Structure formats: C-alpha cells, structure tokens
Amino acid sequence: MATTSDSRDSGGVAHYATGEDLSYAALLERGLDMGVLISEYVTRAGVQGVRTLARALSLVPSEQHAHESVEAINAYECLKSTASAKQAEQACTLEDVVTADRNAKGIREKHPSWGIGADVALARHESPRTGVQFLNYSRILTEDLSYATQGLKDGTITEDEAQLIVREVRNLRSENRRLIDQMLFCETHNAFGSGGAILREMIRGWAAILEPGAETDLEEKAMKARYIDLYQIDAHRMKITGLLPLEYGVALCQVLARESGHAQAAGDTRNRGQIAADFLLESLTGIREPNGIPLQVSLIMTDRTLLEGNQEPALIPGYGFISAKKAKNLFTGNPQNPLDTWIRRLYTAPGTGDLVAMDSKARLFKGSLKRFITLRDQHCRTPYCNGRIEHLDHVVQVRRGGPTTAENSSSRCKWCNATKEAPDWEECTISGDRHTIRVTTSSGHIYSSTAPPLPGAHSQSKHPQDE
Ligand SMILES: [Zn+2]
C-alpha cells in the first residue's frame, strides 16, 4: 500500500509502495535531491542519525587520482568545519536548556551554568577547564558573528579561523564584533586567502580604529595573565612555556641576546640557545654545573628491575618513565657523576602495578597517605584533564559519608575539584585491578578514570568512555 508523504515538495522520497524500485539509481532517476533526503533523515533520527552519517562516511573508499584526492581532502575539511559549527550551536543550546531548567528549580541561581562547560569538554575529549572557553567561543560565534557561523557551516572557513576571529574580537563591544564579522566576509578584503597572520592583523587594524580603548584593557589583561610553566615533553627534555606582557618579554629577549653575544665574543663555543639556557638556569638557581643539581626523586620500580636485571622501565611520578638502566644508575648512584639524589623507592604489586594502599582516620589526606595518593595518580584524575595536582579530594565527599582513605581519594587540579560540586555531578570508586573512579556529569553521562599504569602493570589503562 502506498503511503503519501509531504516530502514531495522538499524533493525527498515522494512515496513508497510494495514492489516499487527504491534502489539508489531509481531514486536518482526520479530526481531525488540526496542532500534534502540525508538532511531529513538526520533530522528525524537525531543523534543516531549523525552517528550513522559518520559511520557511512568511514566506509567511503579513498579517491585514486591526484586531482580527486585533493578535492576529497578539501571536502573532508568542509565537513570538519560544518561539524564544528554544529557543535558550537549545540553547546549554546545545552547551556540555554540547563540554565533555564536550573533557574526554574531555583538551583545555583548565581551560577546556573556551573559544570556545563565540563560536560561539553568531556564530550569533546578535552580537559574540563577548556569547556568553559569553548562555551564562551560558541556564544560569541553564534550570537555576534553570523557571517563567520555561516562560513563555518559552509566550510568556507575552518574552526581554527573561526577561533582566531573570536579571539581577536572578544574584547570588543557587540556592535563592533558584528561590523568586523561583516567586513571579513566582504569579498574585496579576501580575508581568508592569505593565512592566519594576515587575518589577525586585518582584524586588529579594524579593532584599533573602531575601539581604541580596548587596547588599554588588553594591556591590563596581559599583565594579569602572566605566567611561566614547565612541563616534560619526553624522557629527556622539559619545555618552558608562559605568557608575558610585551615589555617583560622584550626585556628578557634583550638580556639573553646580550649574554649570548658577550660570551661568544669572548670565545665561548656554545651556541646562542645553549648559552641562554645555561644563563637562565644559573640566574634562577645559582647553579653553574648541571651535575651539581640536587634532586629529590621518587622512583617507582619493580623489584625485578633492580634485583633481576629486568628491563622494565621505572617511573618518576609527574615526569614520566625512564629506562631500567637510568633507574638503576639513579638508585645505586654513579661514582663518575655523583648526584646529590634522595630516592624514595616504591614497589608495585605484581600483575596490577597498583601501589599498596594505606588508610587514615584523619579528615585530611596527610603524610604518607598524601604522598601515596599523589604518586598513584600523578596528575588530576578527571578524564582528559591531566592537570597538575593541586588538591587531594574525597571521591565521595565527607558530607556524604565518604571516608578519608586511599580508596576514596583522588588527586585533582583546583578547577576540577570545584567542578565536581556542580548540580547532579556524582562520583564513586569502582573495584578493579587499579584504582578507578566513575564520574557521572550533570547531564548524566558516565566516564571512568583509572589511575595510570605503574611499573609492573600488565594491563593497559582503560580509556574513559561514554556509556
Ligand atoms: Zn583537572
């Protein structure tokens, strides 16, 4: 029996009937608009439709000719842009829906958006603290930059370009953001044909004319936002990164250049970068020779590595794995290169690599329990965060009867420790080989966070996942 559909006007499938040829070729023959059909399907199927679309795309074979290959790469770039625009719109809708609901119920009236960014970030496999930034970006994009939003949807600009635009206009008044948005998409400016640096300069030039006062605000913000950070990038190197107000940065550059210049003029054979690095270390620590650096190291290794010559790597918590050979050198000391090294050696349980647990009756995580939790977790335990440990947290809060034990503990950055107080956010531990926390976000999505593997662990860390 034929069923009628009002999709005839929109170009979708006109009607269905038993025995009718519904093959792709036959539908095409009838003048079916495939774009309208797919859009209609995804609209009706919702999130499942989007996932089906992604699965369908993953099955598309690669193009075999050079020209088509480049076309395909560009088409996939458009797809990423479109998805990015839809994600931004969806993030704003989520915030609107949740805040309206909380306002109606009188929950967290001062901060009705609390925790929403974390939900967005975890869905994007990112650190919770970046979720708020993404929400702010999404707001400015969708509310003030209608041309950029459309450009992203059409795939004429990329997510990187959209983020650059938002970054450059975020301190401007709404009407000026809109004006710049409009000018950027005026063809005569060719704003997206010359790369990020030109695009940035173009926006900054217009912003300086439209709103000269914003410059002073930015200077103040730059001063407030100054920081220096150090982090490990591989087994042998650390990177210094940071943000400095322009005058600090210029002063630093000049001093380093001067020191390098003087040293080389006096016959120093080190290159300029090496001289600058050594000068920085000496200025900050007073240490001239790298061998004279006093180290305080916690070394986690299996007894097999130390006693049986096993090649299993050891771990310096917070810094990463080192080779068995280096671990043994650190432990036994190298008479040729005597480091003033204080080693705290911890063994891991065979098979699981879990440290041996210990409990405390105290309310605060202190002493050996604190050290134990920090060593076990190494970073903030919220999925995707990996932030520096700033708090030791009760997984189940004390006010809910959570005990002060290694089992009920987790290391957190400041941000995540606050985020877990968002409405309906719940956490508990679940049993397993390694310490595992189950996180239920405000929206009801569930993630798990397993403590990182330590030497001696045979099983791999389970990735947090949507359930
Ligand atoms: Zn964190």
- Position 402 in a domain: yes
CA–centroid distance, residue 63 to ligand 1 (Å):
42
CA–centroid distance, residue 127 to ligand 1 (Å):
7
Regarding whether 45 and 14 lie in a shared domain, the answer is yes
CA–centroid distance, residue 295 to ligand 1 (Å):
27
90 burial (CB, 10 Å; 0-12 / 13-18 / 19+) is middle
CA–centroid distance, residue 35 to ligand 1 (Å):
42
CA–centroid distance, residue 427 to ligand 1 (Å):
14
CA–centroid distance, residue 373 to ligand 1 (Å):
15
- Position 463 in a domain: no
- Identity (one letter) of the amino acid at 227? Y
CA–centroid distance, residue 116 to ligand 1 (Å):
15
CA–centroid distance, residue 383 to ligand 1 (Å):
8
CA–centroid distance, residue 463 to ligand 1 (Å):
16
Regarding whether 307 and 219 lie in a shared domain, the answer is no
Domain boundary among 288, 314, 334: 288
Q: What is the pLDDT of residue 175?
A: 95
CA–centroid distance, residue 419 to ligand 1 (Å):
9
Regarding whether 204 and 235 lie in a shared domain, the answer is no
DSSP three-state, residue 415: helix
258-286 pLDDT tens trace? 888 899 999 999 999 999 998 888 888 77
CA–centroid distance, residue 162 to ligand 1 (Å):
26
- Position 100 in a domain: yes
CA–centroid distance, residue 381 to ligand 1 (Å):
7
CA–centroid distance, residue 359 to ligand 1 (Å):
24
Regarding whether 144 and 108 lie in a shared domain, the answer is yes
CA–centroid distance, residue 326 to ligand 1 (Å):
31
CA–centroid distance, residue 109 to ligand 1 (Å):
25
CA–centroid distance, residue 27 to ligand 1 (Å):
52
- Position 94 in a domain: yes
Q: What is the pLDDT of residue 386?
A: 85
DSSP state of 208: H
b/e sequence 142-171, b meaning 16+ C-beta within 10 Å: bebbebbbebbbebebbbebbebbbebbeb
CA–centroid distance, residue 382 to ligand 1 (Å):
5
Q: What is the pLDDT of residue 8?
A: 39
CA distances in angstroms from 221 to 204, 218, 224, 226, 248, listed in the order given:
16, 5, 5, 9, 14
CA–centroid distance, residue 437 to ligand 1 (Å):
14
CA–centroid distance, residue 413 to ligand 1 (Å):
4
CA–centroid distance, residue 211 to ligand 1 (Å):
36
CA–centroid distance, residue 244 to ligand 1 (Å):
24
Q: What is the pLDDT of residue 339?
A: 41
Determine contact, residues 169/141, Cβ cutoff 8 Å: no
Taking only the tens of pLDDT, the chain with its 467 residues reads 333 344 434 444 445 556 778 888 888 888 888 889 899 999 999 999 999 999 999 999 999 999 999 999 999 999 999 999 999 999 999 999 999 999 999 887 778 889 999 999 999 999 998 999 999 999 999 999 999 999 999 999 999 999 999 999 998 999 999 999 999 998 888 889 888 888 999 998 899 888 887 767 777 888 888 998 887 777 678 888 888 888 888 888 888 988 888 999 999 999 999 999 988 888 887 767 655 555 555 666 666 666 666 677 777 766 667 777 776 666 565 444 444 444 455 555 555 555 554 444 555 666 677 878 888 888 899 999 988 889 998 999 988 999 988 899 999 999 999 999 899 999 999 988 789 999 999 999 999 999 887 766 554 433 434 33
CA–centroid distance, residue 391 to ligand 1 (Å):
10
CA distances in angstroms from 187 to 1, 191, 221, listed in the order given:
53, 8, 33
Regarding whether 246 and 160 lie in a shared domain, the answer is no
Q: Is 63 left (phi over 0), alpha (psi -120 to 50) or beta?
A: beta
CA–centroid distance, residue 129 to ligand 1 (Å):
7
Q: What is the pLDDT of residue 464?
A: 39
- Position 457 in a domain: no
Instruction: List, in sequence order, every residue forming a beta bridge with 211; answer none if it has no partner.
Output: none
CA–centroid distance, residue 387 to ligand 1 (Å):
5
User: How far apart are alpha carbons 74 and 67 in whole angstroms?
Assistant: 11
Regarding whether 178 and 84 lie in a shared domain, the answer is yes
CA–centroid distance, residue 112 to ligand 1 (Å):
21
Regarding whether 219 and 90 lie in a shared domain, the answer is yes
Where in the sequence is the domain holding 10, given as residue range(s)? 3-58
Total of domains in the chain = 5
Regarding whether 315 and 277 lie in a shared domain, the answer is no
- Position 183 in a domain: yes
Pairing of strands 227-232, 15-16: unpaired
Regarding whether 186 and 207 lie in a shared domain, the answer is yes
- Position 358 in a domain: no
Regarding whether 182 and 84 lie in a shared domain, the answer is yes
CA–centroid distance, residue 253 to ligand 1 (Å):
33
CA–centroid distance, residue 123 to ligand 1 (Å):
15
CA–centroid distance, residue 113 to ligand 1 (Å):
18
CA–centroid distance, residue 390 to ligand 1 (Å):
9
CA–centroid distance, residue 318 to ligand 1 (Å):
14
CA–centroid distance, residue 70 to ligand 1 (Å):
40
Regarding whether 161 and 87 lie in a shared domain, the answer is yes
Q: What is the pLDDT of residue 12?
A: 43
- Position 141 in a domain: yes
The alpha-helical segments, DSSP class H, found in 23-145 are: 24-29, 34-45, 47-58, 66-105, 116-123, 128-144
Q: What is the pLDDT of residue 280?
A: 87
User: How far apart are alpha carbons 172 and 162 in whole angstroms?
Assistant: 16
Domain boundary among 288, 303, 334: 288
Regarding whether 146 and 108 lie in a shared domain, the answer is yes
Spatial CB neighbours of 228, under 8 Å, sequence gap ≥ 6: 240, 241, 242
CA–centroid distance, residue 439 to ligand 1 (Å):
13
pTM: predicted TM-score of the whole model, two decimal places:
0.69
Secondary structure, 3-state, 272-295: HHHHHHHHHHHHHHCCCCHHHCCE
User: How far apart are alpha carbons 177 and 250 in whole angstroms?
Assistant: 30
CA–centroid distance, residue 226 to ligand 1 (Å):
21
> Residue 323 — φ and ψ, nearest 5°?
-70, 160
